[in-house]
């Protein structure tokens, strides 16, 4: 399991919870969420895990659709359900029994949907919109992560280490002064604001 796997796992969990809370306002969106979940649960398996780049880009697109074209939110709700189906497969890879994985992800999706429908203060619209922006950014980060990691590993492989280690270069004085000044000013501000 790589860092891309764990980032994709977190993206699927975050996207499922957020899409469930957003879809809870309309019954057709909840139906689309459930349909996406069932289809993705059947299609995804531990042997066929999704590509983080595609999932990240589509998740960012789904968040943008909910924010700027709410009339197409049903498609985004279906994608949220698909994220839940992918999450079941990734949870199975970590050793959970398939039935337990489906049950756990179902509870994860049903809880925010139920709380949003029954308690108006649970996930207000402003909070959901800010979370959708975060989901969009996180989706883009997950999308570029595999390429960045591959580039980083290639650069590390191609780096030639010197045979002997040279002297270490000390930190410049201005860097230490800047960090010390910032810390001191932060402490003074903290003390001043608590008066």
pTM: 0.76
Q: Is 180 exposed, middle or buried (0-12, 13-18, 19+ CB in 10 A)?
A: exposed
Predicted local confidence at residue 32, as pLDDT = 92
pLDDT by residue for the chain (195 residues), tens only, comes to 788 889 999 999 999 999 999 888 888 999 999 999 999 999 988 888 889 999 999 999 999 988 888 888 888 889 999 999 999 999 999 999 999 999 999 999 999 999 988 988 888 888 888 899 999 999 999 999 888 888 888 887 887 666 566 666 777 787 888 888 889 888 887 887 776
What tokens appear for 106 in the block? 């179902």
Dist. CA 50–CA 5, nearest whole Å: 9
Alpha carbon 89 to its chain centroid, in Å, reads 16
The answer to whether the CB of 85 falls within 8 A of the CB of 17 is no
How confident is the model at residue 126, as a pLDDT?
Answer: 86
Question: At CA 92, angle to CA 89 and CA 96, rounded to 5?
Answer: 150
The domain segmentation of the chain, as residue ranges, is 3-150
Strand-pair partners of 48: 45
Residue 94 in tokens: 């970590």
Task: Output the pLDDT for position 162.
Answer: 60
Helix (H, G, I), strand (E, B) or coil at 48: strand
Using a 10 angstrom Cβ sphere, with 0-12 exposed, 13-18 middle and 19 or more buried, the burial of residue 59 is buried
SS3 content of the chain, % helix, strand, coil (to 5): 80, 0, 20
Taking the C-alpha atoms of residue 27 and residue 113, their distance in angstroms, rounded to an integer, is 11
């Amino acid at each position: 399991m790589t860092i891309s796997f764990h980032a994709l796992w977190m993206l699927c969990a975050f996207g499922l919870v957020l899409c469930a809370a957003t879809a809870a306002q309309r019954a057709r969106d909840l139906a689309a969420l459930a349909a996406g979940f069932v289809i993705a649960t059947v299609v995804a398996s531990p042997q066929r895990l999704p590509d983080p780049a595609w999932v990240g880009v589509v998740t960012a697109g789904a968040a943008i659709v909910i924010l700027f074209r709410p009339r197409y939110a049903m498609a985004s709700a279906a994608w949220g359900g698909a994220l839940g189906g992918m999450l079941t497969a990734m949870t199975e890879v970590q050793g959970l029994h398939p039935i337990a994985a489906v049950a756990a992800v179902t509870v994860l999706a049903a809880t925010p949907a139920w709380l949003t429908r029954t308690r108006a203060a649970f996930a207000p619209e402003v909070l959901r919109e800010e979370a959708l922006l975060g989901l969009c950014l996180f989706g883009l980060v997950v999308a570029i992560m595999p390429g960045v990691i591959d580039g980083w590993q290639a650069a590390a492989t191609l780096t030639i280490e010197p045979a002997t280690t040279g002297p270490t270069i000390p930190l410049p004085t201005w860097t230490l002064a800047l960090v010390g000044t910032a810390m001191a000013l932060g402490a003074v501000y903290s003390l001043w604001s608590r008066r």
